[in-house]
Structure 1
Amino acid sequence: MPKQSLTRFTNIALRGITLASKFLLIFFLAKFLEPKELGLYGLLTVTISYALYLLGFDFYAFTTREILKRERHEWGGLLKDQGALSLVLYMIFLPLLSLIFIKGLLPWSVAGWFFILLILEHLTQELSRLLITISEQLLASVMLFLRSGIWAVMVTGLMFFRADTRELNVVLGGWALGSFAALVLGSYRLKQLKVSGWHKKIDWQWISKGLKTAIPLLVATLALRGLFTVDRYWFADLANLDTLGAYVLFMGISSALLSFLDAGVFAFIYPGLISAHHDKDAAAFRLKLKALLWQTLIFSAAFSIVALLIINPLLGWLNKPLYLEHENLFPWTLLITLLYSLGMIPHYALYAQGLDRPIIHSHIASLLIFIPVTWLLSHYWPVQAVPAGLCVAFLFILLWKCLAFIRLTPAQYR
């Protein structure tokens, strides 16, 4: 087997094991925790995911393009600049995030875990993005395995054999240990790369230039990720924390598709799309885009078929009437992730060309559509209103990006 194929196979296998571990964790949490605890876990995870953008400001979108254009001896300066920006953002937003607990959106009992996990996840996420950018996808997958895989297996085993560990604090402690291990590994690899340029003074002008690029993308990302944060809080308000546990379970299963596509498709293809466009190689760009299209369609179809076949037996194994009662939510959550995944095809095609404006506009508009549609449906269809609103929003994003790609991409690149 060629080295590149072996690396890709290993990468996908690692991501597959990580996904299996996450599946294992979510199902054991559904089995051993009360639905309201699973609902709280879901609220905590989406709030951390959303807060990550405030600590990073999506500045990596600018740094990634710059690193791909620069020599290694310049990378240290770029990373130092990004680190300086993050430090400023930490000082601004970490105190402000305490309002989440002051206002009662989350209980104070998870406040310590929230801030520990938020910082660890931000640092490991940025390191993973850097490794993917410089074609170290395999190590990024190992880091993901530590962040999301091995600790989930260990916690699941512990909860299976010891009833006294079946509580949320044990889960969050395992998550923190896994993220810390990933951080140590990523930091060690960065040191091994012997990246130079760290002595360069912080270039605030370059940071300012990057922010002009990153902030519009950040606004778009916050709007998009806002859909996956507001939905949990809104769902809990329309139903209750117990029913939210069912929604979190089904979204956890469905979102595994996105993780698999990130690992097996997107992480390998989008850097090549950027490079092909930068090199003005239209033939290579078309080839990469075709691969992105077909691989996304095949993986999505296969995942959907398997998920629909196994969901009922899995819910039967949980032996909790609440989840079976709300099984009709699962096709909705699966459709949400399918529409999101398909939307990433024109998304990466536009991003690789530096056509950020339609991406930004579609994401902002989707949130503006989601809110009134969900509000209207909530009067007649309260439990299904949120997932149905998300389906409308992601269908809108998909159509907008496809039209923008057709309209803005030069003919030789299509």
Structure 2
Amino acid sequence: MESAMRSRLLDLVTRPAVAGTVAALVLRALTLASRFLLSLLLARMLSPAEIGAYGLLTAALAFALLAVGLEFYSFTLRELVPATPERRARIIADQMVLGTAALVAVGIVVTSAIATGSFPARLAPWFMVILVTEHISLEATRILIITWRPVRAYIGVFLRGGIWVYAIAVLMLAAPSMRTLETVLVWWALGGVASIVFSGFSLSELPWRELRGYVPDLKNIREGLWTARPFMLTAAGALVISYVDRFVIDAFVGRDALGIYTFYSTILIGLLSLGSSVSHQFLPKVIAGYAAGRDAYRSALRSFFWSMLALVCATMILSAFAMGPMLAVLGLSTYTASIGVFYAMLPGVFLRMLADVPSYALYAARADKYLLICNLGSAAVSTLLNVALIPVLGIYGAALAGGITSAGLFLSLVGFAIHRMRGSFRKPGATESIGLPTDPDMLYP
């Protein structure tokens, strides 16, 4: 009996689908854990001012990645699914042409910023190198996922955003001379290169040689940009909500205060990424529920909500109780003195994570207009609140602004989702365009 159960269990875990799912979850967990380790490593090895500079760099990088990618993948992924290998190679080639042009434009902007003194010249080369490697590896990951190779995709994600963190942790502990911001940026770039090499190998079976003499399809690129337009605006709104506070803190409070705030926001953005990873698992069920009818739609959303609520409550409680002892053990007295800002930020993150439920409800219903209104409106509110509160309350003002903005975003999404559920239901049309929700890997520490 016991032997038979062991045999059945072994057969289950060795099935390709199960093994692939487990491997993807392990790789995702290791990547998310590396973000938490990185925040602790930076706090232990670098000064608050250097962490502040890192916070500004990563915020600028998030916006630059949006400017380079232009959310074009929301168009290309739809096209890649039914395409032949030859067609897939041409679609990817068109995206590479667009990305190259966008990278040149961003490079010109960065050069102008250096000339005016608004961007540090010593960090600019690394910024551009990381921008290139992040963009290429991120798009390759999306292509691997949509072409049904999730394990390889998450290996690429781990190489891009995980393994190098463990490497520099050992390096910085062993060699004090390596405890610099430049070391972090160098290894970050190396992680991106490793991800690109692996992804290139994974996509090598496509008929790239047949692209010799291929002329980019400008009509296809224009169509893709038009399709991606609303998703680009939605993503921009999400990034403003996540990062505008860093620029305002740097302008009104100072780089040291920004370093403290970046330390805590790094950890909390890691929690957002964890929540987004779980949310993505429910997305197909919510979409299928909407197509099946009102009852199935509500059932899928109900399951999604209770699962997210359990996850959010568990992570918030664990974070609240663990943060103080962890800082004490690590001897991070500078950050302990401002731990109140971490607790002030928790409600906003709680609501941001729960907001995935109404957001995905609207996404599945193709209510892109509502998503756009909520994200752009919240971005405007976040900007105004940060500018008004940070000069008066410092980093606590940023935390308060984040909480109010998250509450407004959550309530507006819930209101629109309820309105949409009361409306008519229909199966999604085959010719309608739809992008993807904000990618959690776009949110950098």
| Same fold at TM > 0.5 | yes
Q: 1:227 aligned to 2:233? A: no
Q: 1:362 aligned to 2:374? A: yes
Correspondent of 2:318 among 306, 317, 340: 306
Correspondent of 1:18 among 31, 40, 58: 31
Name the CA shift for 1:98/1:395 in 2 (closer, same or farther; >3 Å): farther
Partner residue, 2:193: 180
Q: 1:350 aligned to 2:330? A: no
CA contact (8 A) 1:146 1:178 kept: yes
Offset at 1:335?
A: 2.6
Partner residue, 1:95: 108
Q: State the distance in 2 between where 1:69 and 1:272 align.
A: 21
Name stretches of at least 5 consecutive residues in structure 2 with no aligned partner. 1-11, 428-445
SS in structure 1 at match of 2:190: helix
Describe the superposition over 1:65-121 as per-residue Cα deviations: whole angstroms up to 9, x where unpaired.
Answer: 333455665433322222222222223222113233334333211111000000100
Name the CA shift for 1:348/1:9 in 2 (closer, same or farther; >3 Å): same
Name the CA shift for 1:309/1:217 in 2 (closer, same or farther; >3 Å): same
Partner residue, 1:76: 89
Partner residue, 2:229: 215
Amino acid at match of 2:306: W
Give matches, 1:275-314, under 5 Å.
280-282=291-293, 288-314=300-326
Name the CA shift for 1:135/1:260 in 2 (closer, same or farther; >3 Å): farther
Deviates more, 1:361-370 or 1:373-382: 373-382
Alpha-carbon RMSD? 2.7
Partner residue, 1:262: 276
Describe the superposition over 1:13-35 as per-residue Cα deviations: whole angstroms up to 9, x where unpaired.
Answer: 21212222222222121011111
CA contact (8 A) 1:137 1:267 kept: no
Correspondent of 1:120 among 133, 145, 154: 133
Amino acid at match of 1:249: F
Q: State the distance in 1 between where 2:202 and 2:226 align.
A: 30
Partner residue, 1:137: 150
Partner residue, 1:170: 183
Amino acid at match of 2:80: I
Partner residue, 1:48: 61
Amino acid at match of 1:216: P
Partner residue, 1:329: 341
Give matches, 1:2-41, under 5 Å.
3=15, 4-41=17-54
Amino acid at match of 2:248: W
TM-score (norm 1): 0.90
Deviates more, 1:93-102 or 1:183-192: 93-102
SS in structure 1 at match of 2:400: helix
CA contact (8 A) 1:40 1:241 kept: yes
SS in structure 1 at match of 2:91: helix
Partner residue, 2:261: 247
CA contact (8 A) 1:359 1:401 kept: yes
Between Structure 1 and Structure 2, how many residues are aligned?
A: 411
Correspondent of 1:318 among 322, 330, 350: 330
Amino acid at match of 1:344: D
Amino acid at match of 2:327: L
CA contact (8 A) 1:304 1:334 kept: yes
TM-score (norm 2): 0.84
SS in structure 2 at match of 1:260: helix
Partner residue, 1:376: 388
Q: State the distance in 2 between where 1:269 and 1:69 align.
A: 23
Name the CA shift for 1:197/1:229 in 2 (closer, same or farther; >3 Å): farther
Name the CA shift for 1:261/1:72 in 2 (closer, same or farther; >3 Å): farther
Partner residue, 2:412: 400
Q: State the distance in 2 between where 1:166 and 1:340 align.
A: 34
Deviates more, 1:23-32 or 1:175-184: 23-32
CA contact (8 A) 2:248 2:386 kept: no
Amino acid at match of 1:142: I
Q: 1:161 aligned to 2:174? A: yes
Name the CA shift for 1:26/1:13 in 2 (closer, same or farther; >3 Å): same
Deviates more, 1:94-103 or 1:174-183: 94-103
Q: State the distance in 2 between where 1:328 and 1:99 align.
A: 39
Name the CA shift for 1:155/1:268 in 2 (closer, same or farther; >3 Å): same
Name the CA shift for 1:103/1:393 in 2 (closer, same or farther; >3 Å): farther
Name stretches of at least 5 consecutive residues in structure 1 with no aligned partner. none
SS in structure 1 at match of 2:339: coil
Name the CA shift for 1:314/1:336 in 2 (closer, same or farther; >3 Å): same
Correspondent of 2:160 among 147, 164, 168: 147
Partner residue, 2:70: 57
Q: Work out the percentage of aligned pairs sharing the same amino acid.
A: 27
CA contact (8 A) 1:128 1:140 kept: yes
Describe the superposition over 1:34-76 as per-residue Cα deviations: whole angstroms up to 9, x where unpaired.
Answer: 1111111111111111110110111112222333455665433
